[in-house]
Amino acid sequence: MSNSNNLTNIFGENVFNCSVMKAKLPRNVYKNLKRTIDEGVELDPTIADVIANTMKDWALEKGVTHYTHWFQPMTGTTAEKHDAFIAPTADGKVILEFSGKELIKGEPDASSFPNGGIRATFEARGYTAWDCTSPAFIRDNVLCIPTVFVSYTGEALDKKTPLLRSMDALNKQAIRILRLFGNTSTKRVVTTVGAEQEYFLIDKKYYDQRKDLIFAGRTLFGAMPPKGQELEDHYFGSIKDRVAKYMQELDMELWKLGVSAKTEHNEVAPGQFELAPVFTTTNKATDHNQLIMDTLKKVANRNGLVCLLHEKPFAGINGSGKHNNWSMSTDDGQNLLEPGNDPHENAQFLLFLSAVIKAVDTYPELLRLAASNPGNDHRLGANEAPPAIISIFLGDQLTDIIEQLEKGIATSSKQGGELRISVPTLPALPKDNTDRNRTSPFAFTGNKFEFRMVASSLSIAGPNFVLNTIVAEVLKEIADRLEKAADFEMEIQALLQEIVKKHKRIIFNGNNYSDDWVKEAEQRGLPNIRSFVESVPSIIHEKSIKVFEEHGVLNKTELYSRYEIVLEQYIKTINIEALTMVDMSKKQIIPAAIKYCTALAQSINEIKATGLTDLTSVQEEYLKEISNVLISCKAKVLDLENALKNADHENIYDHALAFREEVFSKMAELRRDGDKLETLVDSSLWPMPTYEEMLFNM
């Protein structure tokens, strides 16, 4: 068999996908299930037994013995509880069983997952429910069934439930608009996502010696090496053999899971890399991104490496993000953000485009929050890109069109019975947006938007359910108006003009990293929310509750629970980091510095004993300098411990804010002393691997 044949066989070999289902399921069952998957009609429960049985047989053939409901609780990672297929029989033997009921519903103990007060302690039950829109797959000999996770009373306890609800909401509104344009054939509109994932690789032998990496996923101390990323010679550089082997293995694992990992390259920072899959529907892309993050770590481990997904593993070196490429597409293959050439499509395109513009300008706080986590505070709004201010890059050509729309003259005509809207003042739309702007947090890149703020370790469910919901809301407003309009074309024109006038302030094509932009954005009235904690309250603003409830994505109770959960997670994260710093200072850094001081003192004494009393000045200077830093360092440890003690507040927001403002800044001060000591102490006495080793020795 040729190599390419091999590859096509391997791709998706561990996935119970449509082609397997088509081959193995009875025709009517397959058709029935496919309608649910493609058109979103409710699943017919009577077919579940047949599907479960077929799934089990397929899995058994591949040596699988267990199954699990695979879900995405609010921890941000995935959870699974394995059950064997076996069922005991009366004669003391077992049969292999998997019923429709077991496929459709599971009952994990919800009390071990974050729920933000939703689940009263007397009702620990939670349910997982099969999400048939994302295919089941086999991993490590376990059949994994993608599910949503809800409470006994039906509230979402996970990341997938609101995502699926938001896709439904957007579908409903987008279809209304397509129908107005005379489209009668499209059955469903989905959002599509391709998430580019950045990550770092370091040698496991270094990782194992760093408590900060083990407990916090990032370095809490570490002086800059003489060479950082200033030469930018790592970006697209040749991939080292060891990494090349890793990437090959990674691709193979992902392909088996049906994840279309496509491009892989070095990133700007040394030791940093990126993986991009081909885009797919948002629910699958979300599952795939979780699988990618898991697989990155697993394959690294097998190769004596550790994959760091943290947003900022190394201070002073570019951090990692996730570029969430997003668009809307019909089931018959039309990308609604594809400019096209036909004027009729232009008007439709411009409506969808301006819906996104209006949505982003109306709900920037929600997007800011959705892209954030504690780790991203080191990037957003810090001295690294992208900035915390949300703006949209459109490129020169589209901006020009938008400006013309603002003045808005258009005529319309009907041709051949088909509705045609021509806008003669507009030039042909650009097919490909050739100019690029890598500084924008939200950039139109030809036929999709690239949301570049997303935290590298974060589930992409959040950013996408926010995006879907706010765009659904604007599409709804547009559809409401257009359905009532006496003159469809005139109303479109009026709508476009209105949206552009009101929301063009969100468009910015310049350098988002410059200080000038920060000032200009303020003048434009764009919010600049500086930290994660400060962005959290936006989730329970009246405006947010209204839009999420309107579209059935999350209700007030669910939003309040999320508010609690993320603040609690912030507190826990910073608490762990602070305690780790205290521990490393007391047990590693300060003792190492003392050891060096002792060596210096001994040297001074020994030299003096020879009678050469005037030859100890260097040792004495070092001894003084280090001792001074040591004194300061010890005081900073105490400051941090006190900040931790005083951070407690009854109100959870105040509690989190105290961590952000007091604890966080004391950590930075302690770090300065710790790093200073690293530059002063004999490297052979330094108790942990340095930046230089971790970043450049792989």
Which residues lie near ligand ADP (CB under 6 A)? 192-194, 196, 263, 276-279, 323, 325-327, 335, 447-448, 450
Q: Least distance from C-beta 422 to Mg ion, angstroms?
A: 34
Q: Least distance from C-beta 171 to ligand ADP, angstroms?
A: 15
Size of residue set near Mg ion by CB under 5 A: 2
Sequence-separated (6 or more) residues with CB below 8 Å from residue 32? 44, 47
By C-beta, is 198 or 558 nearer to Mg ion? 198
Cα 256 to chain center, whole Å? 23
Residue 17's binding partner, choosing from ligand ADP, Mg ion, none, with beta-carbon cut-off 5 to 8 A by kind? none
Ranked by CB distance to Mg ion, the top (closest) residue is 323
Q: Least distance from C-beta 323 to Mg ion, angstroms?
A: 4
By C-beta, is 99 or 263 nearer to ligand ADP? 263
The site string for Mg ion over 195-224 (x = CB under 5 A, - otherwise) reads: -x----------------------------
Q: Least distance from C-beta 273 to Mg ion, angstroms?
A: 14
By C-beta, is 146 or 441 nearer to Mg ion? 441
- Phi and psi angles of residue 67, each rounded to the nearest 5 degrees, phi first: -130, 160
By C-beta, is 456 or 561 nearer to Mg ion? 456
By C-beta, is 276 or 559 nearer to Mg ion? 276
Contact predicate 667/551, CB 8 Å: no
Part in contact with Mg ion (CB under 5 A); list of ranges 153-161, 190-198, 504-512, 587-595: 190-198
By C-beta, is 323 or 636 nearer to Mg ion? 323
Q: Is the peptide bond before 386 cis (omega within 30 degrees of 0)?
A: yes
Ranked by CB distance to ligand ADP, the top (closest) residue is 194
Part in contact with Mg ion (CB under 5 A); list of ranges 112-120, 318-326, 579-587, 689-697: 318-326
By C-beta, is 447 or 535 nearer to ligand ADP? 447
Residue 278's binding partner, choosing from Mg ion, ligand ADP, none, with beta-carbon cut-off 5 to 8 A by kind? ligand ADP
415 beta partners: 418
Q: Least distance from C-beta 194 to ligand ADP, angstroms?
A: 2
By C-beta, is 451 or 570 nearer to ligand ADP? 451
Query: Which one-letter DSSP state was computed for residue 439?
Result: T
Residue 279's binding partner, choosing from Mg ion, ligand ADP, none, with beta-carbon cut-off 5 to 8 A by kind? ligand ADP
Cα 433 to chain center, whole Å? 25
Contact predicate 191/290, CB 8 Å: no
Tell me the DSSP string of 346-401.
HHHHHHHHHHHHHHHHH-HHHHHHHT--GGGGGTTTTTSSSPSS--EE--HHHHHH
Cα gap 229→675, rounded to integer Å: 19
What secondary structure, in 3-state letters, does 93-117 show?
CEEECCCHHHHHEECCEHHHCCCCC
Q: Least distance from C-beta 584 to Mg ion, angstroms?
A: 35
Cα gap 478→81, rounded to integer Å: 45
**Which member of 56, 165, 234, 323 binds Mg ion (CB under 5 A)?**
323
Q: Least distance from C-beta 496 to ligand ADP, angstroms?
A: 22
As a residue count, the chain comes to: 698
Sequence-separated (6 or more) residues with CB below 8 Å from residue 528? 381, 387, 388, 389, 518, 521, 522
By C-beta, is 276 or 405 nearer to ligand ADP? 276
The site string for Mg ion over 33-72 (x = CB under 5 A, - otherwise) reads: ----------------------------------------
CA distances from 469 to 154, 177, 548 (A): 20, 16, 7
The pair of structure tokens assigned to 418 is 């088909």
Q: Least distance from C-beta 429 to ligand ADP, angstroms?
A: 16
By C-beta, is 277 or 374 nearer to ligand ADP? 277
Sequence-separated (6 or more) residues with CB below 8 Å from residue 542? none
Residue 448's binding partner, choosing from Mg ion, ligand ADP, none, with beta-carbon cut-off 5 to 8 A by kind? ligand ADP
Part in contact with Mg ion (CB under 5 A); list of ranges 36-44, 316-324, 461-469, 602-610: 316-324
Part in contact with Mg ion (CB under 5 A); list of ranges 128-136, 319-327, 420-428, 578-586: 319-327
Part in contact with Mg ion (CB under 5 A); list of ranges 145-153, 261-269, 320-328, 368-376: 320-328
Part in contact with Mg ion (CB under 5 A); list of ranges 27-35, 189-197, 261-269, 283-291: 189-197
Residue 577's binding partner, choosing from Mg ion, ligand ADP, none, with beta-carbon cut-off 5 to 8 A by kind? none
Contact predicate 392/444, CB 8 Å: yes
Q: In the block, which residue shows the tokens 């997982």?
A: 128
- Phi and psi angles of residue 95, each rounded to the nearest 5 degrees, phi first: -120, 160
448 binds Mg ion (CB under 5 A): no
Q: Least distance from C-beta 407 to Mg ion, angstroms?
A: 33
By C-beta, is 72 or 440 nearer to Mg ion? 440
Residue 192's binding partner, choosing from Mg ion, ligand ADP, none, with beta-carbon cut-off 5 to 8 A by kind? ligand ADP
3-state secondary structure of 320: coil
Residue 160's binding partner, choosing from Mg ion, ligand ADP, none, with beta-carbon cut-off 5 to 8 A by kind? none
Q: Least distance from C-beta 219 to ligand ADP, angstroms?
A: 26
CA distances from 271 to 7, 239, 453, 670, 691 (A): 28, 10, 21, 26, 11
Tell me the DSSP string of 484-532.
H-SSHHHHHHHHHHHHHHHHGGGB--S-TTSHHHHHHHHHHT-----SH
The pair of structure tokens assigned to 26 is 């009875």
By C-beta, is 276 or 640 nearer to ligand ADP? 276
By C-beta, is 54 or 440 nearer to ligand ADP? 440
**H/E stretch holding 464:** helix 461-484
Contact predicate 356/488, CB 8 Å: no
Q: Least distance from C-beta 165 to ligand ADP, angstroms?
A: 20
Residue 330's binding partner, choosing from ligand ADP, Mg ion, none, with beta-carbon cut-off 5 to 8 A by kind? none
By C-beta, is 199 or 691 nearer to Mg ion? 199
Part in contact with Mg ion (CB under 5 A); list of ranges 191-199, 265-273, 333-341, 681-689: 191-199
Tell me the DSSP string of 162-218.
HHHHHHHHHHHHHHHHHHHTT--S---EEEEEEEEEEEEEEEHHHHTT-HHHHHHSS
Q: Least distance from C-beta 684 to ligand ADP, angstroms?
A: 42
Contact predicate 454/380, CB 8 Å: no
Determine whether 342 is exposed, middle or buried from the number of CB atoms within 10 Å of its CB (0-12, 13-18, 19+). middle
Contact predicate 93/59, CB 8 Å: no
Q: Least distance from C-beta 263 to ligand ADP, angstroms?
A: 5
Q: Least distance from C-beta 298 to ligand ADP, angstroms?
A: 22
3-state secondary structure of 35: helix
Q: Least distance from C-beta 9 to ligand ADP, angstroms?
A: 23
Q: Which residues bind Mg ion (CB under 5 A)?
A: 196, 323
